[in-house]
Amino acid sequence: MATSEAQEAIARERIVKHMNGDHQDSIRRYIEHASGISSYQLRGDTQMANIALDKMDLTFGDTQIAVPFDPPLKSLREARERLIQMDQSALKALGRSQISVTRYIPPHVHFFHLVNFSVCILTYAAFCRPSNFKPDSLLYDHLLYKTPAFAAFCLTIQPILLTIMAAIHMVEAGLMVKKMEKHSVLPFSGVWWCWVCSCFVEGVTSFKRLDELVDNRKKEKEAKSH
């Protein structure tokens, strides 16, 4: 009996350590699916505190919830398969992708993406205020003084161009936020901010890199399954 209990304790410790170390995104989905708590409320540290035959105890911040196993496990040897099944159910119910995004890909990995990012951020910097196209500004006195007619044209279109560009990129950033949720990126985490801010600057090229990352992860998963 003591040996059996010791084996169960070792198995429990191994499962808890593995889940906390490698499957934080799954733990968050268990909590969301079981309790209805949104991902925005789970920005703190989420952990599996314990696992038993009838339930697992999960924590986020100072809150602990019990997620039942229905039916109960016959042995902790069944835990891996059951946890995978429950994660699949959570993914479907929450409308999430099976691919979790855990890193940001910067624009310099593709030459065209870097060019687009650079042009966009320089456009934001130049058109952020009308005074940039008037004498005594750094931009005008060092560059545009040679082409006063072009400077006057830029001054005329400055509010229109900035408003349109910012509006389009805000919509795109909103779509990127949805993509982050779909791929289980923790809201307001470093990875989340990198993708959303990058999207606000460069727009469509950030989606191309994200899609490429997701496609590569899918191929890796498929390769491992064969």
| Widest CA span in the chain | 91
Question: Could you tell me the pTM of the whole model?
Answer: 0.86
Low-confidence ranges of the chain (pLDDT < 50): 1-2
Superfamily of domain 2-94: PNP-oxidase-like (3.20.180.10)
**Tokens standing for residue 57:** 């105890």
The pLDDT value recorded for residue 3 is 64
- 224 has which bridge partners? none
> Which strand (E) or helix (H) includes residue 96?
none
**Do 24 and 43 touch, CB atoms closer than 8 A?**
no
Q: What is the pLDDT of residues 30-69, one digit of tens each?
A: 999 998 888 888 876 889 999 999 999 999 888 899 999 9
The pLDDT value recorded for residue 1 is 46
Residue extent(s) of CATH 3.20.180.10 domains in the chain: 2-94
Q: What is the pLDDT of residues 155-166, one digit of tens each?
A: 999 999 999 999
**Tokens standing for residue 217:** 């992860």
